[in-house]
Structure 1
């Protein structure tokens, strides 16, 4: 009887591979150390072992953090899938597959402003589903097979995906109460001219469109600040740096607890909105349906305001 022998293939040492996958997922040796219950030094040594094994660097060490190389990013994505599959296979082998991992891709601003504050409720109601969040932009190159749910901004049409509308875009200015007179909850347009307006670099038209909808298209503020990240602009508003143009759905808690005030009634509404999208291969997965239904329940509690507010239908969205 002949025996067919498989050629031995290089894989790399398992423990360093695991350390690298966790560090790459969090882009932090410190957080990876916490997840694996080891020291930061142990993570650093494991990554160095792997770099020596492959003969190439896996991370670019920057002054303010880490950055994956193009090749190591692909390796990290594949390792994440492998370790998830390994955990699933282990659960199935022992007959107690008790949890699912749900990977959700969305924008940082949506994640911080809306999703993360509500996730504890999901975890309490569905303890067997572990949510993994990926922050990115639509231009980011990500592994399609790695993601279960994408929360996106647009008109609702993405080839190969089913889309469920979460909410239409509704923008209004928000600011810290410290920018208003003591006890005041509103601001005049004359006072607005004395303020600093906060902008997101990718959405510089928002303030101009809102001012047009409010009937003051020629208003010139004291100053303008532009931020690369919308979430940073929003945090600057909370800190009293200036006034941000914000999605109404993002700041329910901050407005309720007095951290922020919406000093103008005009709401800028557009035909675009935020959608939950699922690839058609995954649309019937139970944990995806559970997350979708839960998120829609959360959104049903939002106050979307009165239809009497001025509406601007902008072609550039």
Structure 2
């Protein structure tokens, strides 16, 4: 059963909300594109209908009464929600926006060139991407979904598996031609990611004792790939994310040996209900990436 709603004109409530937020009838009139007299009239009308005083007028401006302080934040929140929904109507069509955090490597190496396909399938869904280095706080950053790399175990999150991305050494073609055996790789300048176990795992698979790793530590695979392409060292990278650079000859893969230390996942807060838009994006992503 619907609650009884007081017969208060919406225009009067809107005028009060703006005046309370602005702290001035003059400023409220400017925002509402009406005269100051019109604002004053609406406030007097609302006070009469509610039977309470909403403002104390002082030389320093308006002061909200206790009744106004109780009403103002409720109206502001309500008008913000209404505005947020109305903003989603674009060209006569309702558009739902979802905020997606994504590891920069995955965004640049795989997702961006495929988003056009999703938009064609779902014109009513707008994807707003926020790149990160795999460290993300979904609740604090207001994200609906986050694509990240790892083992799939994050407290408070649900995780759907996407693609595995094996790691292998990548470097400039001229440098790759000099690496006939994995043993020679140990003599090269090796870029490291903040996941410190990756190079040791690869050398163990190559049956080689890992060299001392004292090169710079990066939180961006893209940065390491760029440095490697310029001949400044060798990076252990998910080669599937750098297919373009490999095809163009900017990077080369000297060895077939690869190791898998994790995969990409699409995650969301377990406590946050899914929307039709997030379900559609999850379904498209898992189908396309697997």
TM-score normalised by L of structure 2: 0.63
Indicate the residue corresponding to 1:210 in structure 2. 202
Matched, 1:154 2:150: yes
SS in 2 for 1:224: coil
1:68-125 deviations in Å (ceiling 9; x for gaps): xxxxxxxxxxxxxx98963532456x99343221211122233223322332333344
Indicate the residue corresponding to 2:233 in structure 1. 242
Contact residue 151 and residue 263 of structure 2 kept, 8 A: yes
Indicate the residue corresponding to 1:123 in structure 2. 119
Instruction: Provide closer, same or farther for how the CA distance between residues 286 and 143 of structure 1 changes in structure 2, counting only shifts above 3 A.
Output: same
- The gaps in structure 1 that reach 5 residues or longer are 15-81, 301-317
- How many aligned residue pairs are there? 224
Indicate the residue corresponding to 1:8 in structure 2. 20
The whole-number CA distance in structure 1 between the counterparts of 2:110 and 2:162 is 12
Matched, 1:279 2:269: yes
Contact residue 283 and residue 289 of structure 1 kept, 8 A: no
Kindly report the root-mean-square deviation, in angstroms, between the aligned alpha carbons of the 2 structures: 3.6
Contact residue 282 and residue 288 of structure 1 kept, 8 A: no
Matched, 1:135 2:131: yes
Please state how far the C-alpha of 1:10 moved relative to its aligned partner: 4.4
Indicate the residue corresponding to 1:299 in structure 2. 289
Please state how far the C-alpha of 1:143 moved relative to its aligned partner: 4.1
Contact residue 93 and residue 124 of structure 2 kept, 8 A: no
Mapping of residues 241-260 of structure 1, within 5 Å: 241-260=232-251
Instruction: Provide closer, same or farther for how the CA distance between residues 284 and 229 of structure 1 changes in structure 2, counting only shifts above 3 A.
Output: closer
2:192 to 199, 214, 231: 199
Please state how far the C-alpha of 1:210 moved relative to its aligned partner: 0.9
Contact residue 225 and residue 237 of structure 2 kept, 8 A: yes
Matched, 1:89 2:101: no
SS in 2 for 1:275: strand
- The gaps in structure 2 that reach 5 residues or longer are 1-7, 29-78
SS in 2 for 1:269: coil
The whole-number CA distance in structure 1 between the counterparts of 2:258 and 2:144 is 33
Contact residue 176 and residue 252 of structure 2 kept, 8 A: no
Mapping of residues 158-169 of structure 1, within 5 Å: 158-168=154-164
SS in 2 for 1:88: helix
The whole-number CA distance in structure 2 between the counterparts of 1:254 and 1:114 is 12
SS in 1 for 2:106: helix
The whole-number CA distance in structure 1 between the counterparts of 2:101 and 2:82 is 19
Contact residue 183 and residue 208 of structure 2 kept, 8 A: no
Indicate the residue corresponding to 1:99 in structure 2. 95
Instruction: Provide closer, same or farther for how the CA distance between residues 135 and 187 of structure 1 changes in structure 2, counting only shifts above 3 A.
Output: same
Contact residue 105 and residue 136 of structure 1 kept, 8 A: yes
Contact residue 104 and residue 148 of structure 1 kept, 8 A: yes
The whole-number CA distance in structure 1 between the counterparts of 2:91 and 2:170 is 52
SS in 1 for 2:241: helix
Please state how far the C-alpha of 1:187 moved relative to its aligned partner: 3.4
1:221-255 deviations in Å (ceiling 9; x for gaps): 8x834334332112222333221111233123333
